[in-house]
């Protein structure tokens, strides 16, 4: 998502948010005031530090360990013990992954049957002949789930990209058992190639595939039937992520850079944070066949470079905020943990600039954004301003965040 160095990281992510256009983001305040409302953070696993962490997961039905993905291409595993002081390599792909700007190792998902089949799915960038590609691949464990074997790699899809930014890259298995893959529009400003609105390309889309079937030797199947993908009857897209017909892998379209999304563990709703161009960050509730507007609109607003602004059939975001509140959204989770709090059942999300917020029902079918930690503030328990690259949810529904700049893990404690 973002490069390694702290201040240049903000600049690079500003380019992701602004699409390379005008505007600048000031460097983060190293000692911001503590001005959180209803939220504290507590650093946990304080004996460990990670290099550019972008994702953190637990394996299905196993709360004994955590796994942290570092953007450079390594996943490290450690005991779920606040005093843990050792993190072992789960897999090291630093020789395989292309690290540049926002490119790198960006997503991981454990197969629902990981405890028996040892399969894990990763999304990362590669560089071949000067071309940047987004790769989604399957890896297997040969030692009972302790590590992944790099040589076991089975590539599911490879999508050529015009730039290193706007990768998306998040992976999750849905409650339906299918693998969901979120890809950005390919990079650059304004989606000049029109990828997000083009159903013959995989960029700028939410994809859904069946990794448990390989019909006719294909790398994956397509969910079909009444609840299947919108274009399920069409042939698979080509290996470069294009098709002569609408790509059957597509579940929903019209995204710019879906940076972190998740399923509500209670009802299966799919919540997504889409990074904006220069003015608006948005939150979407994603449904099959939905078109979420980019690059016709940014958030709920017509986007100037688009010709006209034909909004028929586009789905509004459920919430949005301007760049006075943040500049690059990091999607989170609906809180379903055990804390007695007014935030229970609300979607909790953040921004790379440090803002942490939740969505409260407004009484009219919509949502109000409640800022628990405004940009420029620090929550109680933090050592300074945050650069939030990802949230994490444990098997009990409690929430954590990854501080990209310091490589720290913080747990969220709601105090309202």
Instruction: Choose among 252, 161, 262: nearest CA to 206.
Output: 252
Banded model confidence at residue 30, pLDDT cuts 50, 70, 90: low
Q: Which helix (H) or strand (E) holds 136?
A: strand 131-140
- Average pLDDT of every residue of the chain: 92
Quick one: three-class SS letters along 170-201?
EEEECCCCCEEEEECCCCCCCCCCCCCCCCCE
Q: How many CB atoms lie within 10 A of CB 144?
A: 8
pLDDT, tens digit (0-9, with 9 covering 90-100), for 343-370: 999 999 999 999 999 999 999 999 999 9
- Would you call 203 helix, strand, or coil by DSSP? coil
Give the torsion through C-alpha atoms of 367, 372, 376, 378, to 10 deg: -160
**Res. 25: pLDDT tops 60:** no
Q: Which helix (H) or strand (E) holds 297?
A: strand 297-298
Q: What stretches of 299-365 adopt beta strand conformation (E)?
A: 301-302, 319-322, 329-334, 347-351, 356-361
Strands of 149-161's sheet, edge to edge? Answer: 105-110, 119-128, 131-140, 149-161
pLDDT of residue 416: 86
Residue 363's contacts (CB-CB under 8 Å, 6 or more residues apart) are none
- Would you call 7 helix, strand, or coil by DSSP? helix
Residue 284's contacts (CB-CB under 8 Å, 6 or more residues apart) are 255, 271, 272, 274, 290, 292, 315, 317, 318
Q: Which residue has the higher pLDDT, 399 or 11?
A: 399
For 293: left if phi > 0, alpha if psi spans -120 to 50, otherwise beta; the answer is: left
**Res. 325: pLDDT tops 50:** yes
Q: What distance, in Å, lies between the first and last C-alpha atoms of the chain?
A: 32
**Res. 19: pLDDT tops 80:** no
6-19+27-414 has CATH 3.40.309.10 classification:
no
């Amino acid at each position: 998502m973002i490069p390694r160095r702290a201040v240049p990281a903000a600049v690079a992510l500003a380019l992701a948010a602004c699409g390379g256009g005008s505007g600048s983001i000031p460097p983060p305040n190293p000692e911001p005031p503590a001005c959180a409302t209803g939220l504290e953070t507590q650093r946990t696993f304080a004996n460990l530090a990670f290099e550019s962490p972008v994702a953190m997961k637990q394996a299905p039905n196993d709360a004994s360990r955590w796994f942290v993905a570092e953007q450079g291409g390594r996943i490290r595993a450690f005991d779920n013990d606040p005093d843990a002081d050792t993190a072992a390599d789960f897999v090291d792909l630093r020789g395989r992954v292309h690290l540049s700007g926002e490119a790198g190792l960006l997503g991981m998902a454990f197969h629902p049957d990981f405890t028996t089949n040892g399969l894990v799915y990763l999304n990362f960038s590669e560089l071949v002949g000067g071309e940047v590609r987004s790769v989604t691949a399957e890896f297997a464990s040969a030692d009972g789930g302790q590590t992944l074997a790099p040589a076991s790699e089975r590539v599911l899809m490879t999508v050529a990209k015009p730039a290193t930014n706007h990768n998306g890259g998040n992976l999750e298995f849905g409650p339906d058992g299918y693998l969901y893959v979120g890809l950005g529009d390919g990079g650059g400003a304004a989606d000049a190639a029109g990828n997000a609105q083009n159903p013959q390309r995989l960029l700028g889309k939410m994809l859904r595939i069946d990794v448990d079937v390989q019909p006719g030797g294909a790398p994956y199947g397509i969910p079909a039937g009444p609840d299947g993908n919108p274009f399920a009857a069409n042939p698979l897209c080509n290996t470069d992520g294009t098709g002569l017909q609408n790509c059957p892998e597509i579940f929903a379209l019209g995204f710019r850079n879906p940076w972190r999304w998740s399923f509500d563990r209670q009802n299966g709703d799919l919540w997504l944070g889409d990074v904006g161009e220069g003015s608006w960050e948005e939150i979407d509730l994603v449904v099959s066949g939905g078109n979420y507007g980019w690059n016709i609109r940014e958030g709920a607003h017509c986007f100037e470079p688009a010709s006209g602004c034909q909004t028929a059939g586009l789905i509004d975001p459920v919430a949005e905020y301007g760049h006075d509140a943040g500049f690059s959204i990091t999607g989170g989770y609906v809180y379903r943990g055990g804390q007695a709090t007014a935030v229970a059942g609300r979607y909790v999300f953040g921004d790379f600039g440090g803002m942490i917020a939740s969505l409260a029902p407004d009484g009219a079918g919509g949502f109000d954004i409640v800022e628990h930690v405004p940009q420029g503030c620090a929550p109680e328990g933090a050592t300074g301003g945050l650069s939030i690259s990802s949230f994490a949810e444990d098997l009990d529904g409690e929430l954590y965040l990854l501080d990209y700049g310091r490589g720290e893990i913080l747990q969220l404690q709601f105090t309202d």
